[in-house]
Amino acid sequence: MQKALLFIALVLVAGLVAAEQPVVDAAGKFRQLGTLLPTPNVYRNAAGAPGHGYWQQRADYKIDVRLDERQRRVSASETITYTNESPDALSYLWLQLDQNRFNANSLERRSEAAQQNSETEDSTYSFSRMRRDHAAADTEYGYTIESVKRGNRKLPYTIVDTMMRIDLAEPLAPGSEIVFSVDWSFNVTEQAAVNSRGGYEYFPETDTYLYYLAQWFPRLVAYTDYTAWQHKQFLGRGEFTLEFGDYEVAITVPADHVVSATGELMNAEAVLSDVQRQRLARAMQEQRQPVFIVTPDEAKANEQRRERGNKTWRFTATNVRDFAFASSRKFIWDAMIHEQDDTANPVVLVMSFYPTEAQPIWSRYSTHAVAHTMAVYSRFSFPYPYPTSQSVNTWKGGGMEYPMITFNGYRPELTEVNEDDEQLTYSRSIKQSLIGVIIHEVGHNYFPMVVNSDERQWTWMDEGLNSFLQYVAEREWEENFHEYEESQSVLDHVIEYMLSEKQVPIMTQSDSILQFGPNAYTKPTAALMVLRETVMGRELFDFAFREYARRWMFKRPTPADFFRTLEDASAVDLDWFWRGWFYGTDHVDVALTRVREFQVSSQDPDIEFAENRKQAQREMAEPLIQKRNREEGRETYVESRRELEDFYNEHDKFTPSNKDRNDYREFLDDLEDWERAALERAVREADYIYFVDFANVGGLVSPLPLAITYADGSTGSYDIPAEIWRRNPDNVTKALVSDKRITAIELDPLQQTADADRSNNYFPQRIVPSRLELYKRDEETRDLMADMLAELKAEKDDKKALPLKPGN
């Protein structure tokens, strides 16, 4: 730390600091977003709210669908009422045919490149790819469109891969509606073979099936004010944006199946037993523990049954943007209610459906995880607006969301207890992954199932916002969720991605995103964490975020609406934040480069010169030769002839002269009264003044939270807002005044800014060990691992490889 006595009055300090910060690129990082955002209009106003002319289309569906279990095929008749609320006349309509993606001739299949072997440099053809191709060869996937009609008149249509254009005899005028029907069928994909979001799973041990139908019916393409028809082909990644509407769906399945579906069951008396209906009534009173509607034992018994005939389950759903269902004779079914403070929808029926293979973890956690999600998400947005919320176990891992129903993964594994016995157990990782995926998928019921953003264009608007709230909800489920070490926060996790060279901004169209997961999920989560916990604070952020959700509930927001709302509701100018985190690829790395310490000088030479002498003695070592000469007892020439000494031998440069005293008197005379009073007070209080220098190494401007340690052992904090960079985004100096001497400063001590390099965050400097060095410090682990690696390297791998030979 540099110690010097400041000879200027305190009032000049500010001027000094300003002089050290030249205006460099001042407009860049703090420039208002301006033309980066679309101009506000009658549809979307400058506050980020729906404008007075906002509109959106509407699509209502009535569907009769039949599942042929023997053929594993569904067929349906679908009647769509499409209402044109736009100001445009539409001469044709577009429908999405997502099942066509699985057809052997789809755009996705034809544009697929060969796989490469992970150990060699050869092309490869994997078991999984072969299985999928076998499935496609054995079964024709994709829709068979039986008819498209308006009344009894056929409507001409053209299929373009996963889209179908229906040509109208005359344009559909603004404000008018059209009713038309589509009859169709398709073979259900085997999910494990085809890698689809829906399909069926076969359980060979019991010769049973579990069906889950998603993106299963032709759906209206969204028509919007910002992009007209959103009919980019479905290539498997960019998901959906859809129109809201009401659904009446009749699902005919084998009589011993249990069906879970979007919406409310309307004919329980026709499809459930008396006992099941009594249990369901009991569940409607239970909010602590789920009640089994179908017990585990009953589900096992059902697996052995093969009832003849069918039953039709009837569901309705109001104001939803999609519909999905699952059906199986394998289902265990439990339910309880979630109560919420909402007069319009005070009670939500929470349910889970899962096969025996998912036990015991599913009955213990699934329904609770659904209820917890709604409690947390509603606090950040609006009360859950639907009557049911369901979690269905449809696969081993991962998840997918639809209104009121989510398909979720993670099952326990069979573990060998002893030679003759196995039991189903689950690891901590499986448990937390299950809870995490349920939170995420149920969370999607808010974003984008209700706040209907356009995922095919801006993935982050639902995956990013939802992952952020998932992160919040997980940490409200239990402490240390998914964390085994302190460095596992999302802000630590995102750093390596933000350091990478080939990033694209979050604000990139979905199909062009590189590293989809970190870009669309992790980085927005990290950004919103910084925004909530550091930039805005919880109170302002939570209010503004909730305002965004409520403004756009059952409407279709764009990124500008989100950005504008958060500013509009908080009075915090966040353009620099959006510019840096969402439109840029810089990372956070701020270095604390220097600290200089000062105290205000009285300028009185009779006081200050003596202090200066002491400081000079502290800072300047006596010349070694002089010191050792004295220690040897060597007498200097002048010491041996004292008569040669004069004024300069008696006084050093710190002895005040008359001129110094006169200068001091003149200095005092030149001060205004208030300046003199201020100086006297500063001298009396003897405050310390620190100039702390920061360099913006990473480029992304960031708030600067500081932890300060004082000489007396006490500690404090000081938060510098990001606006300190507004005049110079590369280097800034902050003046800190303290009545106590500072001995240490740490930048970002709570690791709340995603700072990539913590080794430059300390004064005095510290050596920060790398992760690998920390790992190697644990000698026991290191030695055990070394032994084990040596042992394993001596063993031969037992790999299962598809044998290939050159063709003849």
Partner 1 sequence: MQRRAFVGTTLAALALPLPALSHRLRYGLTSVVWNARTDVLEITHRLHVHDVLRALVEHYDLRNPDLTDVRTLAQATLYTSKRFALIGEGIGRLTDVGAELAGEFVLVFQEAAVVSLPDRVRVRARMLMELFPEQQNQVNLHVNGVSRTVVFGQEDLERGVELGSSLG
Question: By CB under 8 A, what part of segment 108-137 binds partner 1?
Answer: 113-129, 131-132
Cα 174 to Cα 90, 179, 709, distances in angstroms: 8, 15, 68
State the alpha helices, DSSP H only, in 444-557.
465-477, 490-493, 495-499, 516-517, 523-530, 538-551
Interface residues for partner 1 in 32-61 (CB under 8 A)?
none
**DSSP result, 176-213:** -EEEEEEEEEEEPPBHHHHT-SSEEEEETTTTEEEEEE
Q: In terms of CB distance, is 70 or 793 closer to partner 1? A: 793
Sign of CA dihedral 351, 355, 356, 359: negative
Q: In terms of CB distance, is 80 or 437 closer to partner 1? A: 437
CA geometry: angle 195, 199, 200, nearest 5 deg = 105
Which residue type occupies 316? T
Instruction: Give the binding range for partner 1 (CB under 8 A) out of 73-81, 192-200, 224-232, 265-273.
Output: 192-200
Is the distance from CB of 758 to CB of 590 less than 8 angstroms? no
Q: In terms of CB distance, is 297 or 496 closer to partner 1? A: 496
Residue 516 makes contact with partner 1 by CB under 8 A: yes
Cα 218 to Cα 63, 96, 97, 224, 624, distances in angstroms: 11, 5, 5, 19, 91
Q: In terms of CB distance, is 120 or 658 closer to partner 1? A: 120
Residue 797 makes contact with partner 1 by CB under 8 A: yes
Phi-psi region of 552 (alpha: psi -120 to 50; beta: other; left: phi over 0): alpha
- From 697, 736, 737, 744, residue interacting with partner 1 (rule: CB under 8 A): 697
Residue 760 makes contact with partner 1 by CB under 8 A: no
CB of 239 to partner 1, least distance (A): 6
Instruction: Identify the three-state secondary structure at position 243.
Output: coil
Q: Exposed, middle or buried: residue 355 (CB in 10 Å: 0-12, 13-18, 19+)?
A: buried
CB of 798 to partner 1, least distance (A): 5
CB of 639 to partner 1, least distance (A): 50
Residue 504 makes contact with partner 1 by CB under 8 A: no
Cα 739 to Cα 12, 470, 599, 638, 674, distances in angstroms: 19, 44, 10, 46, 21
Q: In terms of CB distance, is 741 or 776 closer to partner 1? A: 776
Residue 416 makes contact with partner 1 by CB under 8 A: yes
Instruction: Identify the three-state secondary structure at position 272.
Output: coil
Beta bridge partners of 545: none
Q: In terms of CB distance, is 410 or 664 closer to partner 1? A: 410
Interface residues for partner 1 in 423-442 (CB under 8 A)?
427, 429, 432-433, 437, 440-441
Q: In terms of CB distance, is 346 or 517 closer to partner 1? A: 517
Residue 798 makes contact with partner 1 by CB under 8 A: yes
CB of 751 to partner 1, least distance (A): 15
Q: In terms of CB distance, is 26 or 235 closer to partner 1? A: 235
CB of 326 to partner 1, least distance (A): 13
Q: In terms of CB distance, is 139 or 252 closer to partner 1? A: 139
- From 65, 265, 358, 400, residue interacting with partner 1 (rule: CB under 8 A): 400
CB of 757 to partner 1, least distance (A): 9
Interface residues for partner 1 in 520-539 (CB under 8 A)?
521
Q: In terms of CB distance, is 543 or 775 closer to partner 1? A: 775
Q: In terms of CB distance, is 407 or 563 closer to partner 1? A: 407
Instruction: Give the binding range for partner 1 (CB under 8 A) out of 253-261, 329-337, 480-488, 633-641.
Output: 480-488
Residue 373 makes contact with partner 1 by CB under 8 A: no
CB of 128 to partner 1, least distance (A): 4
| Dihedral angle, C-alpha 166, 169, 170, 174, nearest 10 ° | -40
Phi then psi for 321, rounded to 5 degrees?
A: -105, 5
Interface residues for partner 1 in 237-266 (CB under 8 A)?
239
Q: In terms of CB distance, is 418 or 808 closer to partner 1? A: 808
Q: Exposed, middle or buried: residue 479 (CB in 10 Å: 0-12, 13-18, 19+)?
A: exposed
Residue 726 makes contact with partner 1 by CB under 8 A: no
Helix (H) or strand (E) holding 665: helix 658-670
Instruction: Give the binding range for partner 1 (CB under 8 A) out of 261-269, 368-376, 656-664, 797-805.
Output: 797-805
Q: For partner 1, what does the binding mask look like between residues 379 and 398, x meaning CB under 8 A?
A: ---------------xxxxx
Q: How far is CA 590 from the centre of its chain?
A: 23
Residue 204 makes contact with partner 1 by CB under 8 A: no
- From 153, 288, 502, 642, residue interacting with partner 1 (rule: CB under 8 A): 502
Rounded to an integer, what distance in angstroms lies between the CA atom of residue 472 and that of residue 763?
33
Residue 356 makes contact with partner 1 by CB under 8 A: no
Q: What is the edge-to-edge ordering of all strands in the sheet holding 704-710?
A: 715-720, 704-710, 742-747, 762-763
Tokens representing residue 300 in the block: 């096992």
Rounded to an integer, what distance in angstroms lies between the CA atom of residue 614 and that of residue 83?
87
| Dihedral angle, C-alpha 262, 263, 266, 272, nearest 10 ° | 50
Residue 499 makes contact with partner 1 by CB under 8 A: yes
- From 309, 623, 764, 803, residue interacting with partner 1 (rule: CB under 8 A): 803
